[in-house]
Amino acid sequence: MRGPHNIWRLVRTGATLERTGAMKVVLDAYDAPPLLRMAARIVGWPFQWLGAKGDTTMPPATRALTALGPAYIKFGQVLSTRPDLVGDDLAVQLRVLQDRLPPFPIATAKATIEEELDHPVDDLYSEFSEPVAAASIAQVHKARLRETGEAVAVKVLRPGIEKAFRRDIDAFYLAASIIEFLSPASRRLRPSDVIAHFDGVVKGELDLRLEAASASTFASNTEHDDGFGLPRIRWQQSSRRVMTMSWVEGTSMGDNDALDAAGHDRNRLGAQVLTLFLNHALRDGFFHADMHQGNLKVAPDGKIIAYDFGIMGHIDEYTRRVYAEILYGFIKRDYDRVAKVHFEAGYVPAHQDVDEFARALRAVGEPIFGMDATKISMGRLLSYLFDVTERFGMETRTELILLQRTMVVVEGVARSLSPQINIWEIARPVVEEYIRRNLGPRALARDLGQTAEVLARFGPRLPRLVERALMAQVDRPETQPRRRIWPWLGLGIGLGAGGAALLGFLLS
């Protein structure tokens, strides 16, 4: 429950930030005004002796969040994907945040499994190890299924983690309200919306059935992707607080020395991880939104293996097409087309000047294309693009922000593997292929066919729907303006009939 009782939690948080030196880092990152800095000092400085000391070998921000516990660690991880909110320097610190905590006892994990799966652990697994990884929300054990002998990873939520997160998130909401009150300028960053986004992410991660469903969907989408694989979900041994999946052996993508020792081609891996991400985002509209080195392994055969599906991104088909056209327009340096796409999609209000907007886009693109090709960043381009569109009245679109931040992370992974990689050279064929498949005559035919299928499903109900629409027109009082439904009805029937005819022609 949000309320004054959370003030003590904020005092402890402020004291820890002050004691670890993170307070100044955070205030500088947000360019906090004097009033907010004064309030933070009042909360933190006199009580810093109440704050946790943390690991003095860590940078201030990661040291403080690690000391404050699981909810703060996870919050730091989420913020690490939002340099637009915390600044590049702080985002880098948070990106290397170690999501590792002391494990909870194996007996507790077994008790959770038995309660969730309604079977003794010994009946389910012939082997069950001590924790092999312990993170902010759950820990993982290596086990072997008794029935099949398959090696599996068993992920178990921490005991009481739901209540602990709820308590801390309530305090986060209070802090966001205080910040917005003391610093009106901070409202453009929407602190409360940031907490609401974090709240939604955590709710998804605290139900392992949702993560399992995301993994299963992701696997279906990518089953034909060469050089890419996912652990298989074992649904019979999974529930809300337990998830079982096949065990994955491989080398961490963050360990270049180990990759070299295993004989892997890092240049190929860098290009492949970028290509895979673009395909998942554009082709499928469903992508891994936490695709850092810690969630990627390279199997002995060179296949990239992804895991940890708590944060996934989704983009609808129309938005994908708009995004692809924007990227393609920048690749071709056709700024007029990029501007028109923004207006056609309704991203920029119609009263703005399209030519002026195109010139602003040119000011974004040309300096980037003047750089050495190996230093061009698609993530930086999108960041600059969002800055420009914001000036022209474009409302923030969460799905594009998440896509752009993931793009930054994936580019970082690719460059860590192959520093000289040319991002545009890798991206261009992926975007061109998507454009060819989804924005040409064949795509129009497919869209009309899908429209015809929808109308066909409503076929038995169309007479009644038309009758109701006509009756509504007849019964409408004369004082209310009449809407002419005939043109729209005729257009709908015409499109449906045309789509059905075209679909029949294509299938014949």
Residues 145 and 128: their CA atoms lie apart, in Å, by 9
Helix axes 486-507, 441-457, angle to 10 degrees: 110
As given in the structure block, the two tokens for residue 108 are: 């507790």
67, 395, 468 from 135: Cα distances, Å: 14, 35, 57
Which residues have a Cβ under 8 Å from the Cβ of 475 and sit 6 or more positions away? none
Q: β-strands 228-229, 304-306: how paired?
A: parallel
**Quick one: DSSP state of residue 284?**
I
Closest CA to 276 of 204, 207, 222: 222
Which residues have a Cβ under 8 Å from the Cβ of 70 and sit 6 or more positions away? 101, 136, 137, 158, 161, 164, 165
Residues 24 and 68: their CA atoms lie apart, in Å, by 17
From the candidates 290, 308, 336, 372, which is the catalytic residue? Answer: 290
Q: Does residue 178 contact residue 74 with C-beta atoms inside 8 Å?
A: no
Angle at 207 between CA 202 and CA 212, to 5 degrees: 110
Closest CA to 80 of 68, 71, 70, 89: 89
Would you call 284 a catalytic residue per the annotation? no
Helix (H) or strand (E) holding 80: helix 70-80
**SS3 of 228, please?**
strand
Cα 476 vs. chain centroid, distance in angstroms? 47
As given in the structure block, the two tokens for residue 165 are: 């997160």
What's the CA dihedral at 492, 496, 498, 504 to 10 degrees?
180
Residues 196 and 421: their CA atoms lie apart, in Å, by 37
Residues 138 and 134: their CA atoms lie apart, in Å, by 6
Q: β-strands 312-314, 286-288: how paired?
A: antiparallel
Residues 176 and 171: their CA atoms lie apart, in Å, by 9
Longest dimension (CA), the chain: 82
H, E, C per residue of 29-61 = HCCCCHHHHHHHHHHHCCCHHHCCCCCCCCCHH
Helix (H) or strand (E) holding 90: helix 88-95
- State the CB neighbour count (10 A cutoff) for residue 417: 25
Active site residues: 290
